[in-house]
Each structure stands twice: as structure tokens, then as C-alpha cells.
Amino acid sequence: MILRLAFASLAARALTVGMTILAIALSVALFLGVEKVRTGAKASFADTISGTDLIVGARSGSVQLLLYSVFRIGNATNNMTWDSYKDLAAQPEVDWIVPISLGDSHRQFRVMGTTTAFFERYKYRSGQPLAVSDGAVMDDLFDAVIGADVAATLGYEIGAPIVVAHGLASFTEHKDQPFRVSGILEKTGTPVDRTVIVSLEAIEAIHVDWRNGAQIPGQSTPADVIRQMQLEPQAITAALIGTQSRLQVFSLQRAINEYPQEPLLAILPGVALQELWQIVGIAETALIGVSGMVVVTALIGMMATIFSSLNERRREMAIFRAMGARPRVVLGLLVLEAVLMAIIGAALGLALLYAGLFIGQPLIDSAFGLWLPIEPPSMRELWVLLGVVAAGAIVSMVPAYRAYRMSLADGMMVRN
Amino acid sequence: MPDPDPILLLEDVRYRWPGRRAFGLHVGQLSLARGETVLLLGESGSGKSTLLSLICGTIAADAGRVLVADTDFAKLSPGQRDKFRAEQIGLIFQQFNLLPFASVRDNIALPLQFAPKRRARVKDPSQEARRLCRELGLPDDVITTRAGTLSVGQQQRVAAARALIGTPPLIIADEPTSSLDAETQESFLELLFAQSRAHDTSLLMVSHDARLADQFDRVIHMTEIAQTLRDAA
């Protein structure tokens, strides 16, 4: 019956109570939403590359190598030579190796030279392979395969011509050797979506007439002549390696890092991701902190609401006292009301979160390539909800204690 | 003629409000026999509220004895006094008796929540509340309506039903009729008397209205039993 009375009392103040609950619900939804995006982003980050045991490049920082080879962020300061690549490929531990050559761009998208092995070996989201949604992987020297975002942004279809610019954000273009779109990849939510993929030979081909980053004046070799040439690269940016056995990863990594002919760096993608995540972690903590503060604000709002209701509810408390309720019961009643508000708020917040996920999931996926899974609340989320309710109870102790003092002084008569 | 078994007995009780040096109360003697109806007459400011708070145990006397049903309040903790009040005393106030947001049934059953013995005397609180409402002349469907929607006269009757439920031995009514018009006043008192007689309940009613006197067994003036202490102590 006490519970029924508490509900009835809340219902009688539906407007202010409703607002308080809404504030709690929104803050809870925000907090859980930030958590979802955070874990989703982390998972999405970690999902960008899978199945690759080692990434090899010129010696630099491991995070730097990961960023430019996988995420296409920043640039390689140095290349590794083709000789080293061939040497590595011949190592017995190496099951497969895929070269990557970066440095040119098309519009705002990076161009990556590689071999067709890339389409078999590159895996994302725990082992999912790339799939061609339209057309086929490159067959001809001047064929290009484009990511889903490239196709969507630039409106390219199969057969569309592509002129590759030298360097990034550059005005000098390799106009002599236009490419043709041969295939469009399905959306992956990885940087591959924003990449134009051509063959390694094609990268060489468009640089035939170039020396030291500039076109040799007046020289323009026709495409059919280029096709006859021996197009073997001098250097590549990085290589992805799969080992015969995972046990060999560390010994191979050490061997590469101590490679005598050239300073090379081999990294484990998972370890480098961890390192990268530690750097991003500060922003992550700040984000949690801010959304946590929003929850606290909502709870303080609830405390203020209870405080301001105390005076008008003095009579109600006096009635409880007259009927034999101890002051402790009055205190308990106010805490119970706060807990009820917090529970309803938390539940509503959870409902808001799922409603938001259902509506937002496809939009966020297409806009940011971030896939937020809709799953039942995790243990961690349930703890958060429980924490909100507990915090609500603790916060409400302050006005409840004041009511306790008041009802002790008032007894069953309200003097005013 | 000392009553061997009074329901209520106050002897040489002194009380001074803490922090309010200017006001205190001294009660020489006040006793109420079981089943007796007493009208306590007093002007406002004569210490009626303080006296009622002493009888109900929400404040404790500084000196003297307050006995309700042979139990000395001085021997009880504040929490025990609260429970004892719920068990022994049915209360009706001048107005604002009810929780406006709760149903009439919940309002009537509320004291049972804090008085297990009183609760044990009632088989089915819902049925009993319905019965009391009927006895007090309230319409049958009133039981489920929110108390705040009733007229003042109806609210006072609900308060009477709440005081009567579980048949506590003592009912204290503090100006229960002053917010009612003359006609309603009379019928309310009739019903209250009928119900308290039926259960052999003592009734102590506080009022400033001497016209009600002839309906009670006994009339006491505040000035006969108590002095307010207004000197600076």
C-alpha cells in the first residue's frame, strides 16, 4: 500500500515528476549512447584489419605505420625497397605477402597500388573478405577498383574514367594515363571504402615519364608502349604478411626488425591498435566524464524538485505522522519516490537508447561507417543503470533528511 | 472520585516548547474514562494544540505523567510512541485530514499500516472501509475516488471512518466540525457519536463552540485544567 501511495503521490505531481524523469531518461540515454558509440568505434577500429599477422614498412613508429598503411592517415616518411620485399616473400615463415604502394590520389581519395592478392588476403570484421558489388577486380593495367564511398561520392559507375593526381591534394595530374573503373567494392566500414585500388604495375606506369616528382618536359610515353615495358617497382610503401603458423609471428617480426640490408619495421596490427587506442583513450575518458556529468546534473535536478516540493507536502507528512508513521517512514517515503523516479527514468532512457539505435543504426553506418550492434544490454550497462538508481537514492537522502527534521519538529500539526 | 482504569490520564504535566521561551503549558489533571465522551472547550491560544501533541506523544512532557491505556509515555521511545499512537488513538483534525492524491479506501486504511494489532482486528480493510463509509452516510462508490475530489463535509466523514477503523479505544477530534456548515455539523456529530458508542470508544473533542456541550457526557474548560506559561523563563 505504501508503494501504491508513493505512486499516487508521484502521479498527483505528474508534470514536475514527468520532467524530472524525462531529464533522467535523456541523460541515461546519452550516457549509454556514448558508451555504445565508444565501444562501437573501438570495435570498428579493431575490425578494420583482421587476418593479417604483420605489417611491414620502412622504420618509423608502429602507430605511424599502422595509420598510413591501414587507415590512410598521414604519410610514409620512407619506402621499403622492392628487393627487401622479394627477400621477405621468400622467407619460409611467410605464407602470403601483399604489397601496398601509396602516394597518389584521385580527388579527395587515396590511390593504392597493390596486387590482386589484396582482395583475397585483406579481411575485416573478424575475417570477412572484400566483395565486389559491381564489375570485377582489375584485369588490365589501367583498371581501377573503387571503394563504396568513392563510388557514392563521385557518382562513378563501371567504365568511368579516372585521372590520378600525383601526390595528395595536388594539381599535377597523370593525365596521360587515365584509368577506367572496373569494379566497385561493397561497403565495409573501413578505409577501403575511401580508396581507389590499382595494380602495383599501374603505379609504375603512370610514373614512367616522371623523375623526382615532376614530369619530364615534353616526354609522354603512349599507353601501348608502356604496356610493353617491364614495370617492376623500385620501392613500395608497406606490405601485409600472413605467416604459416601464428607461432612464427614473433620470430619473423624480430627477423624483420633486425633485417641487415635495410631498416625495416614489422608490427602486429592488434598491438599497434592497442597503442593507438591508448592515445585516443584520453578523449574517450573525457567523453565518458562529460556524459557522466549530465547524469549527475539530472539527479541534482531531481533533488531540487524534491526540495521544492517539501513545503507544499508538509501537511501530507503531518498526516502520515498523525496516523502513526515514524519520522523514519517519512524519510523512507521520499527516498522511495526518488528511487521510483530513477527507475522509471533509467528504464525510459534504455528504451530511448534502443529506439535511437533502431532509427539511427543504418544512418550512422552509411554516414560514418560505424556499425552499432543492437544487442540486449550488457552487464556493464546494467551496472550503469543500477548505479543511476543508487545515486538517485543517495542524492534524495539530502531532501529526505530535511523532511525528516521538519516532520520531527512539526509532529502532526503544521504551523504556518 | 479517581477512575481506576482511565483510558487517558494526565497528571501535573509541564511542557515548554524548545526555543520558544515565551510559551509553555502546565496541565494539573485530566482524565477520561473508557467509553466516555468529553468536550474540551478552549479559545485559540489556550494550549489546545500543545495538549493534543502531548496526548498523542509527538512531544514528550518535561515533567509529570501522561498515560494512555495505562501506558506511561515517559517509558516509551519516540518511535514506540508513534506506534502506540497508531494502535490506541484515532485522530480527526479540523481540515486537510486526507492525502488528496490517494483513494478514499487507502486513506481510511492508512493507520492500519502502522498498527499491527489494530490491523488484526480488521478482517478485510477494504470491506471495513466500505462498511464505515456506508455507516457514515457516504455513497458506495466513494471508496475508489481520490480523496481530494470530495467535498469538505465528505472529507471529514472519511476522516472519521479512518479514526474508527480497527476500533481504537480513544478518538481525539480537534475542531472536526468547524469547517462544516451548521447542518452538516449536526449530522456529522450524530454519526460520530453513534459509531463511537457502538464500539465503546472514548471520544475527546476539542472545540471553541460551547453549543455542542449538551451532546457530551462531560464538558471541561481548558482554563480549569491547564495554565499557559507565558513568562520569560
Predicted complex ipTM:
0.89
**Structural domains of chain B in order of their starting residue, each with its CATH number:** 6-229 (3.40.50.300)
pLDDT-based confidence at residue A295 (cuts at 50, 70, 90): very high
- For residue B233, the model assigns a pLDDT of 43
Residue A359 banded pLDDT, cuts 50, 70, 90:
very high
Nearest residue on chain A to B109, judged by CA atoms?
A: A1
Nearest chain B CA: its distance from A7 CA (Å):
9
Pick the range with the lowest mean pLDDT from A170-174, A301-305, B75-79: A170-174
Distance CA A164, CA A202 (A): 11
Crossing angle between the packed helical segments A327-368 and A14-46, to the nearest 10 degrees = 40
- Please give the pLDDT value at position A100: 93
Which chain B residues have a beta carbon less than 8 Å from that of A324? 82-83, 85-87, 111, 113-115
The whole-number average pLDDT for the span B82-104 is 88
Nearest to A178 by CA among A202, A138, A147, A142: A142
**H or E element, residue B117:** helix B116-120
Least confident of A80-94, A169-183, B69-83, B166-180: A169-183
What share of chain B has pLDDT > 90, as a percent?
A: 21
Instruction: Give the model confidence (pLDDT) of A199-245 as tens digits.
Output: 988 888 887 776 666 666 666 777 777 777 777 888 899 999 999 88
Q: pLDDT grade, residue A416 (50/70/90)?
A: very low
Q: What is the pLDDT of residue A43?
A: 79
Output Rg (C-alpha) for chain A, integer angstroms: 31
> Would you state the pLDDT for residue B16?
83
B17 touches chain A (CB under 8 A): no
pLDDT, tens digit (0-9, with 9 covering 90-100), for A45-87: 778 888 889 999 999 888 899 988 888 888 888 899 999 999 9
B105 close to B144: Cβ distance less than 8 angstroms? yes
* β-strands A143-146, A179-185 pairing: parallel
Give residue-wise pLDDT tens across range B126-156. Answer: 999 999 898 888 888 889 999 989 988 889 8
Determine the Cα–Cα distance for residues A222 and A385; give it in Å rounded to an integer. Answer: 68
pLDDT at B1 over 80: no
Kindly tell me if the per-residue pLDDT of A169 is higher than 60. Answer: no
Report whether pLDDT(B107) > 80: yes
- Say whether residue B19 is in contact with chain A using an 8 A CB cutoff: no
Q: How far does B1 lie from chain A, in Å, by closest CA?
A: 32
pLDDT category, B109, cuts 50, 70, 90? very high
* Average model confidence (pLDDT) across chain A: 86
Chain A interface residues (partner B, CB cutoff 8 A): 1-2, 4-5, 8-9, 11-12, 315-316, 319-326, 328-329, 411-413
Residue A310 scores a pLDDT above 90: no
What is the per-residue pLDDT for B22? 64
